[in-house]
Structure 1
């Protein structure tokens, strides 16, 4: 295996998409030996992009698991974060919090129109989520969805390209929930179960159709 930057990028991408990994798990994902995976992790660790900790599972020996550091997460784009945060702060100072939220939700309405142009309202919930995840991935959210055993779905976004802006104003996150609801249908229940701003490694939403009224 060539120990080059592409190997490092692949390792970082896997940790971003799948969360913490053991060396064995990462080696399988990279399709390299455990020694090859260890080499990449140690190199990334020395550069401050990943960290490790020991975890005990049952009676076996503790396992070493690896995950991204804040610096590692920062390798993924945060869209115009510096300028956006400054603009948000100026709007707050000059127009107030309520005006800022109105602007954010107005922008959200634009997103709703754009999403609806690309998502067929007559499709099944599963097809709608497939299209939504594709759109969100193009926007930098690294999105995907999974079908749960109970018939519900999980929409998972492994990256937030507006994270710094969202830290400054929670209105962005509220607007996203409103957008998903309007695009997927009023008969859809959406609950955020993981939140990057709350310390999770990803944002995740449990999505299911409301029971039919008798």
Structure 2
């Protein structure tokens, strides 16, 4: 399935109304309606209705499980099998050793790419660039609370679902490369059922 801009928008922004989608994509309401109908029939998106006070419920569109599968999950089946084989053959400690080794390599690789970044925001921007290249569809928002690092996709989701050590390793890596003086808290987690992973970053 080729990912189109409707699916990309819903992946990065979450559930949206038809009006919001047409505005974001710069197309007519009718054009948006027809494309949304087509994607719904293909099983790639779904709609829900939400009541907000008096009046008709508002219809929101979001990705289905099939729609999410259009975004790459890095060698998912093979990765899951390898993890299960390591657990069964060598045990949990061996799996943790593998994850820890990967974490150390990631810390080294990220640190090298962030070494020219002097401010926290510059480091976050560079981290976003790295993670986007790796398939995480990353972005960040600066607000009155600090920064929010957002990852709209997880290319290792299948692996993380059976071993959350990968998620812990990821958070450890972020803390290391952004600075020990920086407070980082995960506020959204795909594994917990959220549509994205997000991290609150504060000095």
Gaps of 5+ in 2: none
Aligned partners of 2:91, 2:202: CA distance in 1, in Å? 36
Please say if 1:24 is aligned against 2:19. yes
Which of the residues 126, 146, 150 maps onto 2:121? 126
Partner of 2:162: 168
Return the TM-score normalized by structure 1.
0.92
Q: Is the 2:117–2:126 contact (alpha carbons within 8 Å) kept by the matching residues of 1?
A: no
Aligned partners of 2:23, 2:116: CA distance in 1, in Å? 40
Partner of 1:34: 29
Return the TM-score normalized by structure 2.
0.97
Q: How far did residue 57 of structure 1 move?
A: 1.5
Q: How far did residue 140 of structure 1 move?
A: 0.1
Paired positions, count: 203
CA offset digits 1:193-213 (Å, max 9, x no partner): 00000000000000111xxxx
Q: CA RMSD in A?
A: 1.4
For residue 21 of structure 1, give the secondary structure of its aligned residue in structure 2.
coil
Q: How far did residue 148 of structure 1 move?
A: 1.5
Aligned partners of 2:134, 2:95: CA distance in 1, in Å? 22
Aligned partners of 1:63, 1:145: CA distance in 2, in Å? 28
Q: Is the 1:53–1:65 contact (alpha carbons within 8 Å) kept by the matching residues of 2?
A: yes
CA offset digits 1:28-80 (Å, max 9, x no partner): 11111111101111100101000001111132321000000011111000001
Q: How far did residue 98 of structure 1 move?
A: 1.8
Gaps of 5+ in 1: 210-214
